[in-house]
């Protein structure tokens, strides 16, 4: 049971949130090829490590925000606004997370 | 175990699998305890009844047995179910595939392993793939924690970890890994004689030969490789179960577990060629791969040997996403598969 | 053995008060502080169970949650609880319990003959047998023989509640280590919760007799402002981010159990350790007990249930139990596998070093043991009435392991102990492996013949582990699944380490190299009802009621659930079925006027200067070109091009739209709008206001509809109010929004007022409509009317594969230049196929077609399908059947006759246009 931090409301139990899946996916234009369109609709990065995904404080303020989360040990490495780019500042934390994932996986 | 599918592409494949299961124990000389106690799907509204009628008719057109039941027939088959009109999830009826049921899962793995070993297959345990060296000529090398293996053809059948291998091979797949949970009660004297699924609350339950109620629900709500389940999913599953079976409330959860499954948008497997020559895919089974094991293996072997899809899995290729040719049973029937 | 009288030094019972209880139809007396197990022992009941597989006689092995044998059914009828351990049941006056898995009684069990077959029924035996001629012949009897307790047949009469709690420190375990940790944290000013599974604090102090410090700490903690003490509280799961979950047994408080969800900044696990049995022949006989458990029954409960006692050990801890029994007046002999040099010097006890117990003598109770040297040689028998054993200790690392922490095998204590934590958790006391002075010498299995039980709960013997080895099931996870080791009702608390260590010996691996299986919740079994909590039955997805529900009920409505709302299906007159009522109501709508409660219709206001641009991207058709005060029908897709919702939207003002969705789509579509605005089109100036439940919407429909509105009283100019326009004004002196849109095919007025005014409006309409014979109409009649008109019902006439072109709505797309959600998917190969399923009318000439009937391609069953019936009714207006269906390439097959199949019956129909009535649509514009 994750403890997520809503940018508006602060730390809350995961049951107040819903996960919207991978974030930072650019929506292609109508001119996109079939493959590019399928890549957008269906294909996902699914790393065994840190993912960047969007969450909604569904049973709270309704705010959508981004979370960098290690899907192996469920550690939260960063929480940032929808409009923010993928965090570069948390690289260290993220690589620590990866290291820990590798250890756990062993 | 079931082959109660709506679309002919799915039905043909899963029916083939069910038939292979029906003789698998003898073929492997290993009792897989295939218990064909029937698979009952509940209807809780008139709309559910109509959807099930479409579904049951489609199954018969697909050559698969199906029967519609009314409330009294369901109540007789499953006395523990709350079939009163005032129930929160009133039972308006249901439909059953009588040849459906359960199989002892470990026995399937062990029986296959023993039989494959006897046929000369090398099964190397505790051997993790760490990378690939691809050759344009077709002879690839698989790097593992226990050495390298040369292979003319490579089949990927690693469920929730398939994208990890695809990443090593340099291509993407349309799937995300989730934890799927199940749990059992303490062992009880017989109280439930068939497999019961309520699509309205996403709960299924059966009683094992050992007496434990085996209960499952939906996926955990976010991506995970953690191989452990999360409590909110258990709570929600049990709320549905106890609404259907109020007399199960005092039973106790004994064991709970989770595995990582590879979920694709249409819940139909990806079985066929990969973007890389001589590398083949057998993935995307999501929550429903166990019932497909014999047919999946059968068609995968064909695909690897002939470098082309088996007719039963021709529609299951990776190319269906770009074409928009999804085979979405759940979306069509409104019922999770 | 015999039931001795209670000793006065018992630390845990109140001898002055008697509690009466019944077990297996006999009456007994115990005392407050007893468990069912201690009370039975005190009454001399030794044999109280039969084992799971072989139906061997069993007694009590342990004193806590680790008990594998003494399983009982507590209570009767709807309040029965199957499969409780007698050691976890706190005795109360009037308790009724009985043995499980034996008939008629544990001392005379008809299935005890299974023991004779034991040599054939080893590990994996099911996999190798019962295959010929057919497993199904054997399965029935096996199912009937399996299982332990009996599930109640009636609904649970009790309630269960949930509670969240946050704290600085959660201490799990109220023994000496836990009490000390809690005190230390509380004194440091931290908020502390202390949870103990037992109904008493004290842990090992309760049986080791060192009560002073524990009692002092308990009193201090209970008085401390920072501390919450929870007894009877089983912390069973350790999840992410220091979330731990416990279940507390309640007495009173309006519920039977409370599920606690803790979020702790730091966790201290003071969960103690569990003693291990030794593995020797017939070690499962009643009268063979863990040494620490026997010490508990003696010290805590004052029961001396043996006079001639043999203690079999490989470590020092059992000497404490031996000493206690000597002090209590028993005759004690210690059989210690260790050489003389390692034996502690205790004058009062007779010790036989370098020896082992080879076997227990006696069937229904131990009456002696066979003793020999470890390396063979002569054996001899010693009479006794109680056998105590200690094979060492296993720290209770379950929660630590669940938290993600790793374990390591500690040679000094021969046990798995916490290694590296990954959450903010520490183990203290015995749980951390602090088992000093154990001086243990591993003895995993005593050599020699006979059934040597490893897992008492599942009847797994040392021989079974050998069988697993023979068949190469040597990985600890395979060992578990092949033999069922550790999968019983005690989850292997006393058996897992012995089992894996024996496998280690068989395969020349140290226990640490074999490793443990994965520890998973729950630590001990947890009641389903407690996990589910109060949100079951009527509170499971609570039904929503219309604001004017009582009015409908008073007018004879039959309610059904539609999309989470209880809505009138029809309003049958006395003597009328709801089906007949629906026919009457539908006919009335075409001839006069009807009143429909459409309040659940989804209503979302889309506000802002970019509202039109936003809706252009949402709808298949155009939104920004709509005039203020006008309405338009729109279809919504997902990115895969699939139809997900439809409805009429209205432009209220230049910068404000009112979007109507299907009633089941209201929440989903509002959430979807929000997601697009917050995540993708972040530059748009748009706000979303879901307002569905703020409004009550009553629809008046039919040729006389405008007359009813006029009679009701309105300031809206009804003569200048065409179809698909919108007005605000007053109706029946209520502030109202009125939309002219129609799902019936007749002139319709959808009147929305504040939800709290619903009953007032419906009453006013009823009065005004009385001269015009206005009649309430339910959903069923609405469905008849819209099917006559060929109006699409999303989710009924479409499924999760239906594209707009399939339902004849490709037109707006061709006229639209800009992108919208799902548009690109409509350009894919599959979307352009000409043989897609298309919505058409199906005209039967012989009765109503069943919904779900399949259209046959070549008249054969089995055979290919060409589609199916989606909506089908008898039309009272046309006095004949009308139906819609999705048919392969249907629009190009108008006029063709097709065969249909429905559960063994055949039907036929002609493919026709979707509109059966008023093709020109003149009536709704009236």
Beta-bridged to residue B67, according to DSSP, are B96
Q: Which of C239, C675, C680 sits opposite A1 (nearest CB)?
A: C239
Domain boundary among C406, C439, C472: C439
**pLDDT beyond 50 at B337:** no
pLDDT confidence band for C132 (50 / 70 / 90): low
- C438 to each of C46, C203, C327, C413, C622, how far by Cα in Å? 30, 19, 22, 7, 81
User: The domain A3-105 is classified under which CATH number: 3.40.1190.20, 2.30.40.10, 3.30.2270.10, 3.20.20.70?
Assistant: 3.30.2270.10
What are the tens digits of pLDDT across the range C484-498? 999 999 999 999 999
**Chain-wide mean pLDDT for chain C?**
94
Burial degree of B87 (CB within 10 A; 0-12, 13-18, 19+): middle
Separation of alpha carbons C449 and C33, rounded Å: 41
Separation of alpha carbons C913 and C854, rounded Å: 19
Residue B275 placed within a domain: yes
Q: What pLDDT is stored for residue C133 in this prediction?
A: 66
pLDDT confidence band for C755 (50 / 70 / 90): very high
Nearest CA in chain A to C688: A62
Rg (CA), chain B: 21
- C315 with C413, same domain: the answer is no
Decide if C683 touches A, using CB distance below 8 A.
no
- Measured in angstroms, the CA of B177 and the nearest CA of chain A are apart by 7
In degrees rounded to 5, what are phi and psi of residue C618?
Answer: -90, -50
Chains with ≥3 Cβ pairs under 8 A against C? A, B
- C143 with C44, same domain: the answer is yes
Nearest CA in chain C to A76: C241
Q: Which residues in chain C are closer than 8 Å to A58, comparing Cβ atoms?
A: 671
* Average pLDDT, integer, range A21-36: 96
Q: What pLDDT is stored for residue A96 in this prediction?
A: 44
Instruction: Count up the domains in chain C and report the number.
Output: 7
Helix residue spans in C436-540 (DSSP H): 462-470, 476-483, 496-506, 511-514, 528-532
- C96 with C219, same domain: the answer is no
B25/C864 touch (CB, cutoff 8 Å), yes or no: no
Residue C813 placed within a domain: no
- C88 with C108, same domain: the answer is yes
Q: Which of C402, C520, C533 sits opposite B255 (nearest CB)?
A: C520
Mutation pick from B8, B54, B127 vs chain C, by most beta carbons of C within 10 Å, is: B54
Task: Domain of residue B143: give its range.
Answer: 107-174+266-333
Decide if A102 touches B, using CB distance below 8 A.
no
Mutation pick from A20, A27, A67 vs chain C, by most beta carbons of C within 10 Å, is: A27
DSSP 8-class letter at B138: S
Residue C537 placed within a domain: no
Q: What pLDDT is stored for residue A15 in this prediction?
A: 95
Contacts of C123-127 with C-beta under 8 Å, sequence gap 24+, read C123/C460, C123/C464, C123/C465, C123/C467, C123/C468, C123/C482, C123/C483, C123/C484, C124/C467, C124/C468, C124/C471, C124/C473, C124/C482, C124/C483, C126/B31, C126/B33, C126/B104, C127/B30, C127/B31, C127/B104, C127/B107, C127/B110, C127/B111
B167/A14 touch (CB, cutoff 8 Å), yes or no: no
Residues 792-831 of C with CB under 8 A from B: 795-796, 799-801, 825, 828-831
CA dihedral C290, C292, C293, C296 (to 10 degrees): 160
Neighbouring C-alpha atoms within 13 Å toward the C-beta of C740: 24
Q: What tokens appear for B205 in the block?
A: 């339950």
Residues 283-322 of B with CB under 8 A from C: 322
Separation of alpha carbons B41 and B49, rounded Å: 10
Q: What pLDDT is stored for residue C436 in this prediction?
A: 82
**pLDDT beyond 60 at C325:** yes
Q: If we measure between CA atoms, which residue out of C782, C783, C777 comes closest to residue C851?
A: C783
A2/C241 touch (CB, cutoff 8 Å), yes or no: yes
* Average pLDDT, integer, range B199-217: 93
Q: What tokens appear for C587 in the block?
A: 């006919």
Q: Which residues contact C558 (CB under 8 A, 6 or more apart)?
A: C568, C569, C570, C571, C572, C578, C581, C778
What are the tens digits of pLDDT across the range B5-14? 889 999 999 9
Nearest CA in chain A to B326: A42
* Length of chain C measured in residues: 926
What are the tens digits of pLDDT across the range C25-72? 999 999 999 999 999 999 999 999 999 888 999 999 999 999 999 999
* Average pLDDT, integer, range B256-284: 94
Q: If we measure between CA atoms, which residue out of C8, C13, C7 comes closest to residue C37?
A: C13
Q: Which residues contact C458 (CB under 8 A, 6 or more apart)?
A: C52, C53, C483, C484, C485, C486, C487, C488
- C704 with C584, same domain: the answer is yes
Decide if C830 touches A, using CB distance below 8 A.
no
Chains with ≥3 Cβ pairs under 8 A against A? B, C
- Measured in angstroms, the CA of A64 and the nearest CA of chain C are apart by 6
* Average pLDDT, integer, range B136-147: 88
Decide if A8 touches C, using CB distance below 8 A.
no
**Chain-wide mean pLDDT for chain B?**
93
Separation of alpha carbons C746 and C74, rounded Å: 64
The CATH number given to whatever domain includes residue B137 is 3.50.50.60
Rg (CA), chain A: 15
Task: Domain of residue C699: give its range.
Answer: 553-599+694-785
B189/C531 touch (CB, cutoff 8 Å), yes or no: no
In degrees rounded to 5, what are phi and psi of residue B52?
Answer: -70, -35
Residue C325 in contact with residue C332, Cβ under 8 Å?
A: yes
* C257-269 vs C160-172, strand pairing mode: parallel
Q: What pLDDT is stored for residue C106 in this prediction?
A: 81
DSSP 3-state of C507:
coil
Separation of alpha carbons C56 and C47, rounded Å: 10
Decide if A74 touches B, using CB distance below 8 A.
yes
- B131 to each of B135, B281, C536, how far by Cα in Å? 13, 16, 49
Decide if B323 touches A, using CB distance below 8 A.
yes
Separation of alpha carbons B220 and B237, rounded Å: 11
- B304 to each of B161, B291, B297, C344, how far by Cα in Å? 20, 21, 10, 68
* Average pLDDT, integer, range C835-862: 96
DSSP 3-state of B327:
coil
The string over C694-729, giving b where at least 16 C-beta atoms fall within 10 Å of a residue's C-beta and e elsewhere, is ebbbbbbbbbbbbbbbebbebebeeeebeebbbbee
Q: Which of C240, C261, C675 sits opposite A64 (nearest CB)?
A: C675
- C29 to each of C22, C669, C833, C887, how far by Cα in Å? 9, 64, 81, 75
Q: What pLDDT is stored for residue B333 in this prediction?
A: 66
A13/C819 touch (CB, cutoff 8 Å), yes or no: no
Decide if B265 touches C, using CB distance below 8 A.
yes
* Length of chain B measured in residues: 337
Decide if B183 touches C, using CB distance below 8 A.
no
Q: What pLDDT is stored for residue C923 in this prediction?
A: 92
Neighbouring C-alpha atoms within 13 Å toward the C-beta of C887: 30
Separation of alpha carbons B264 and B162, rounded Å: 12
Write a three-state SS string for B150-200: EECCEEECCHHHHHHHHHHHCCCCCEEEEEEEEEEECCECCCCCCEEEECC
First to last CA, chain B: 12
Separation of alpha carbons C838 and C805, rounded Å: 8
Q: What tokens appear for C572 in the block?
A: 């049958």
CA angle B206, B212, B215 (to 5 degrees): 45
Separation of alpha carbons C575 and C93, rounded Å: 55
* Average pLDDT, integer, range C256-268: 98
**pLDDT beyond 50 at C143:** yes
The CATH number given to whatever domain includes residue C872 is 2.40.30.110
- C289 with C168, same domain: the answer is no
Residue C527 placed within a domain: no
Residue labelled with tokens 């010790």 = C351
Q: What pLDDT is stored for residue C9 in this prediction?
A: 76
- C119 with C137, same domain: the answer is yes
Instruction: Count up the domains in chain B and report the number.
Output: 1
B248/C538 touch (CB, cutoff 8 Å), yes or no: no
Nearest CA in chain A to C265: A3
The CATH number given to whatever domain includes residue C162 is 3.50.50.60
CB pairs under 8 A between A and C: 59
Separation of alpha carbons B98 and C381, rounded Å: 58
Residue B280 placed within a domain: yes
pLDDT confidence band for B335 (50 / 70 / 90): low
Separation of alpha carbons C917 and C876, rounded Å: 11
First to last CA, chain A: 23
Residue B120 placed within a domain: yes
Residue B112 placed within a domain: yes
- C714 with C611, same domain: the answer is no
What are the tens digits of pLDDT across the range C373-402? 987 788 999 999 999 999 999 999 999 999
Q: Which residues in chain C are closer than 8 Å to A61, comparing Cβ atoms?
A: none
**pLDDT beyond 90 at B332:** no
Q: Which residues contact C66 (CB under 8 A, 6 or more apart)?
A: C274, C490, C493, C494
**pLDDT beyond 90 at C502:** yes
DSSP 8-class letter at C825: G
In degrees rounded to 5, what are phi and psi of residue C838?
Answer: -125, 145
Residue C299 placed within a domain: yes
C682/A82 touch (CB, cutoff 8 Å), yes or no: yes
Distance of CA B56 to the CA centre of its chain: 20
Q: What is the ipTM of this complex?
A: 0.96
* Average pLDDT, integer, range B48-73: 95
Residue B201 placed within a domain: no
Chains with ≥3 Cβ pairs under 8 A against B? A, C
Separation of alpha carbons C509 and C507, rounded Å: 6
Residue B154 placed within a domain: yes
**pLDDT beyond 90 at C251:** no
* Average pLDDT, integer, range C350-370: 94
How does DSSP assign C651-713, residue by residue? EEETTEEEEEE-TTTHHHHHHHHHHIIIII-TTS--EEEE-GGGEEEEEEESTTHHHHHHHH-
- C686 with C725, same domain: the answer is no
Assign residue C595 a region (left: φ > 0; alpha: ψ between -120 and 50; beta: otherwise): beta
pLDDT confidence band for C8 (50 / 70 / 90): confident
Residue B89 placed within a domain: no
A58/C671 touch (CB, cutoff 8 Å), yes or no: yes
**pLDDT beyond 50 at C713:** yes
- C174 with C218, same domain: the answer is yes
Burial degree of C609 (CB within 10 A; 0-12, 13-18, 19+): exposed
What are the tens digits of pLDDT across the range C518-528? 899 999 999 99
- C633 with C616, same domain: the answer is yes
Q: Which residues in chain C are closer than 8 Å to B227, comparing Cβ atoms?
A: 518
What are the tens digits of pLDDT across the range C596-646? 999 999 999 999 999 999 999 999 999 999 999 999 999 999 999 999 999
* Average pLDDT, integer, range B103-131: 94
Q: What tokens appear for C436 in the block?
A: 């000093």
Q: Which of A1, A23, A62 sits opposite C240 (nearest CB)?
A: A1
Residues 41-80 of B with CB under 8 A from C: 45-47, 50-58, 60-63, 68, 79-80
What are the tens digits of pLDDT across the range C890-907? 999 999 999 999 999 999
Decide if C535 touches B, using CB distance below 8 A.
yes
A64/C422 touch (CB, cutoff 8 Å), yes or no: no
DSSP 8-class letter at B318: T
CA angle C912, C918, C921 (to 5 degrees): 115
* Average pLDDT, integer, range C681-707: 97
**Chain-wide mean pLDDT for chain A?**
86
Residue C285 placed within a domain: yes
The CATH number given to whatever domain includes residue C486 is 1.10.10
* Percent of residues, chain C, with pLDDT higher than 70: 99
* Percent of residues, chain C, with pLDDT higher than 90: 87
- Measured in angstroms, the CA of A57 and the nearest CA of chain C are apart by 11
Residue B229 placed within a domain: no
* Average pLDDT, integer, range C433-446: 94
First to last CA, chain C: 97
Mutation pick from C678, C682, C813 vs chain A, by most beta carbons of A within 10 Å, is: C678
- C215 with C244, same domain: the answer is yes
Q: Which of C150, C532, C561 sits opposite B235 (nearest CB)?
A: C532
- Measured in angstroms, the CA of A13 and the nearest CA of chain C are apart by 9
What are the tens digits of pLDDT across the range C531-556? 999 999 999 999 999 999 999 999 99
Separation of alpha carbons B184 and B170, rounded Å: 40
A44/B161 touch (CB, cutoff 8 Å), yes or no: no
Separation of alpha carbons C852 and C382, rounded Å: 77
CA angle C18, C20, C26 (to 5 degrees): 140
* Average pLDDT, integer, range C867-878: 98
Residues 149-208 of B with CB under 8 A from A: 161, 163-164, 167, 172-177
- Measured in angstroms, the CA of B16 and the nearest CA of chain C are apart by 15
Burial degree of B206 (CB within 10 A; 0-12, 13-18, 19+): buried
């Amino acid at each position: 049971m994750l403890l997520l931090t809503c940018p508006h409301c602060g730390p809350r139990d995961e049951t107040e949130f819903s996960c919207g899946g991978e974030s930072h996916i650019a929506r292609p234009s109508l001119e996109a090829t079939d493959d590019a369109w399928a890549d957008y609709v269906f294909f996902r990065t699914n790393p065994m490590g840190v993912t960047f995904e969007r969450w909604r404080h569904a049973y709270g303020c309704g705010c959508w925000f981004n979370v960098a989360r290690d899907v192996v040990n469920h550690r939260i490495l960063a929480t940032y606004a929808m409009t923010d780019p993928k965090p570069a500042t948390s690289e260290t934390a993220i690589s620590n997370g990866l290291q820990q994932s590798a250890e756990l996986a062993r | 175990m079931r082959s109660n599918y709506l679309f002919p592409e799915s039905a043909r494949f899963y029916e083939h699998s069910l038939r292979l299961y029906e003789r698998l124990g003898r073929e492997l000389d290993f009792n897989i305890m295939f218990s064909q106690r029937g698979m009952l799907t509940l209807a809780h509204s008139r709309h559910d009844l109509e959807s099930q009628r479409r579904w049951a008719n489609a199954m018969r057109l697909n050559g698969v047995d199906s029967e519609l039941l009314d409330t009294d027939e369901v109540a007789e088959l499953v006395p523990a179910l709350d079939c009163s009109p005032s129930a929160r999830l009133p039972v308006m009826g249901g439909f059953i595939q009588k040849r459906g049921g359960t199989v002892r899962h470990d026995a399937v793995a062990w029986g296959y392993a023993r039989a494959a070993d006897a046929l000369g297959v090398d099964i190397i345990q505790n051997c993790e793939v760490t990378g690939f060296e691809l050759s344009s000529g077709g002879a690839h090398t698989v790097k593992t924690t226990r050495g390298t293996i040369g292979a003319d053809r490579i089949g990927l059948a690693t469920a929730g970890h398939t994208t990890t291998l695809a990443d090593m091979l340099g291509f993407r797949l349309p799937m995300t890994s989730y934890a799927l949970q199940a749990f059992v009660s303490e062992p009880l004297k017989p109280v439930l004689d068939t497999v019961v699924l309520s699509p309205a609350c996403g709960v299924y339950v059966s009683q094992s030969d050992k007496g434990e109620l085996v209960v499952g629900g939906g996926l955990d709500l976010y991506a995970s490789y953690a191989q452990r389940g999360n409590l909110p999913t258990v709570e929600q599953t049990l709320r549905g179960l106890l609404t259907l079976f109020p007399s199960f409330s005092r039973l106790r959860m004994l064991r709970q577990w989770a595995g990582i499954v590879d979920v694709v948008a249409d819940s139909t497997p990806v079985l066929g060629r990969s973007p890389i020559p001589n590398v083949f895919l057998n993935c995307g089974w999501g929550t429903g791969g166990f019932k497909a094991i014999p047919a999946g293996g059968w068609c995968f072997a064909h695909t690897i040997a002939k470098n082309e899809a088996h007719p039963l899995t021709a529609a299951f290729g990776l190319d269906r996403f770009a074409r928009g040719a999804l085979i979405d049973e759940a979306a069509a029937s409104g019922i999770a598969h | 053995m015999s039931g001795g009288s209670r000793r006065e030094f018992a630390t845990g019972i109140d001898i002055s008060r008697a509690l009466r209880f019944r077990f297996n139809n006999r009456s007994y007396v115990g005392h407050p502080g007893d468990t069912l197990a201690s009370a039975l022992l005190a009454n001399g009941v030794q044999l109280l169970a039969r084992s799971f597989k072989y139906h061997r006689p069993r007694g009590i092995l342990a004193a806590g949650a680790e008990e594998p044998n003494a399983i009982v059914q507590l209570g009767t009828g709807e309040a029965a609880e199957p499969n409780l351990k007698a050691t976890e049941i706190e005795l109360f006056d009037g308790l009724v319990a009985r043995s499980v898995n034996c008939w008629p009684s544990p001392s005379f069990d008809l299935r005890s003959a299974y023991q004779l077959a034991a040599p054939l029924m080893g590990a994996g035996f099911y996999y190798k047998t019962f295959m010929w001629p057919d497993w199904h012949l054997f399965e029935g009897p096996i199912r009937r023989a399996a299982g332990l307790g009996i599930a109640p047949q009636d609904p649970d009469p009790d309630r269960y509640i949930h509670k969240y709690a946050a704290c600085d420190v959660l201490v799990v375990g109220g023994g000496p280590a836990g009490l000390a940790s809690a005190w230390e944290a509380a004194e440091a000013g931290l908020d502390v919760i202390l949870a103990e599974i037992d109904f008493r604090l004290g842990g090992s102090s309760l049986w080791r007799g060192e009560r002073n410090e524990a009692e002092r700490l308990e009193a201090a903690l209970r008085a401390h402002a920072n501390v919450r003490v929870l007894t009877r509280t089983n912390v069973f799961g350790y999840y992410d981010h220091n979330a731990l979950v416990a279940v507390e047994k309640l007495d009173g408080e309006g519920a039977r159990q409370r599920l606690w969800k803790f979020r702790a900044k730091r966790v201290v696990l003071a969960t103690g350790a569990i003693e291990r049995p030794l593995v020797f022949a017939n070690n499962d006989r009643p009268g063979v007990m863990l040494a620490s458990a026997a010490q508990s029954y003696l010290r805590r409960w004052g029961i001396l249930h043996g006079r001639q006692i043999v203690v079999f050990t490989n470590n020092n801890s059992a000497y404490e139990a031996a000493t206690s029994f000597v002090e209590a007046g028993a005759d004690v002999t210690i059989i210690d596998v260790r050489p003389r040099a390692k034996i502690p010097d205790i004058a009062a006890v007779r010790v036989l070093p370098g020896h082992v117990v080879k076997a227990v003598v006696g069937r229904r109770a131990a009456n002696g043991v066979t003793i020999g040297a470890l390396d063979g040689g002569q054996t001899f028998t010693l009479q006794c009435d109680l056998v105590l054993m200690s094979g060492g200790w296993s720290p209770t690392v379950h929660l630590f392991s669940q938290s993600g922490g790793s374990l390591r095998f500690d040679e000094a204590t021969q046990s798995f102990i916490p290694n590296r934590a990954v959450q903010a958790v520490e183990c203290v006391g015995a749980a951390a492996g602090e088992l000093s002075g154990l001086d243990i010498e591993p003895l995993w299995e005593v050599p020699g013949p006979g059934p040597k039980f490893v897992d008492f709960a599942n009847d797994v013997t040392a021989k079974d582990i050998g069988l697993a080895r023979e068949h190469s099931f040597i990985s600890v996870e395979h060992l578990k699944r092949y033999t069922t080791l550790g999968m019983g009702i005690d989850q292997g608390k006393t058996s897992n380490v012995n089992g894996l260590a024996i496998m280690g010996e068989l395969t020349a691996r140290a226990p640490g190299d074999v490793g443990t299986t994965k520890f998973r919740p729950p630590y001990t079994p947890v009641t389903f009802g407690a996990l589910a909590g109060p949100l079951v039955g009527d509170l499971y997805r609570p039904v929503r009621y219309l604001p004017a529900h009582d009015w409908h009920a008073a007018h004879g409505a039959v309610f059904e659930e539609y999309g989470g709302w209880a809505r009138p299906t029809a309003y049958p007159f006395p003597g009328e079925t709801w089906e007949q009522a629906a026919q009457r109501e539908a006919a009335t709508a075409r001839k006069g006027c009807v009143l429909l409660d459409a309040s659940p219709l989804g209503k979302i206001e889309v506000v802002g200067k970019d509202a039109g641009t936003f809706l252009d991207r949402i709808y298949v058709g155009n939104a920004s070109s709509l005039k203020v005060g006008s309405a338009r029908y729109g279809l919504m897709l997902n990115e895969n091009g699939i139809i997900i919702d439809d409805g009429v939207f209205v432009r209220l003002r230049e910068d404000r739209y009112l979007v109507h969705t299907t009633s089941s789509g209201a929440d989903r579509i509002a959430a979807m709008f929000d997601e697009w605005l917050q995540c993708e089109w972040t530059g748009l100036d748009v706000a979303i206001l879901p307002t569905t439940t703020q409004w009550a919407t009553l629809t008046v429909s039919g040729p006389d509809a405008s007359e009813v509105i006029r009679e009701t009283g309105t300031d809206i100019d009804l003569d200048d109010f065409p179809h698909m326009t919108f007005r605000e004004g007053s109706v029946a002196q209520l502030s109202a929004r009125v939309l002219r849109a129609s799902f019936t095919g007749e002139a319709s007025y959808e009147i929305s007022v504040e939800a709290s005014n619903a009953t007032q409006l419906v009453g006013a309409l009823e009065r005004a409509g009385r001269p015009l014979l206005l009649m309430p109409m339910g959903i069923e009649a609405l469905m008849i009317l819209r099917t006559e008109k060929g109006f699409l019902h999303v989710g009924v006439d479409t499924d999760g594969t239906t594209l707009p072109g399939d339902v004849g709505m490709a037109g707006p797309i061709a006229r639209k230049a800009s992108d919208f959600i799902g548009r690109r998917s409509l350009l894919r190969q599959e979307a352009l196929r000409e043989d897609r399923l298309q919505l058409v009318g199906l005209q039967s000439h012989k009765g109503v077609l069943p919904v779900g009937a399949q259209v046959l391609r070549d008249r054969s069953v089995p055979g290919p399908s060409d589609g199916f019936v989606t909506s089908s009714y008898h039309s009272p207006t046309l006095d004949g059947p009308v139906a819609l269906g999705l048919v392969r390439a249907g629009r190009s097959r108008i006029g063709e006759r097709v065969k249909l199949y429905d559960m063994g019956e055949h039907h036929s129909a002609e493919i026709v246009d979707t509109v059966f009535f008023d093709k020109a649509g003149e009536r709704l514009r009236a």
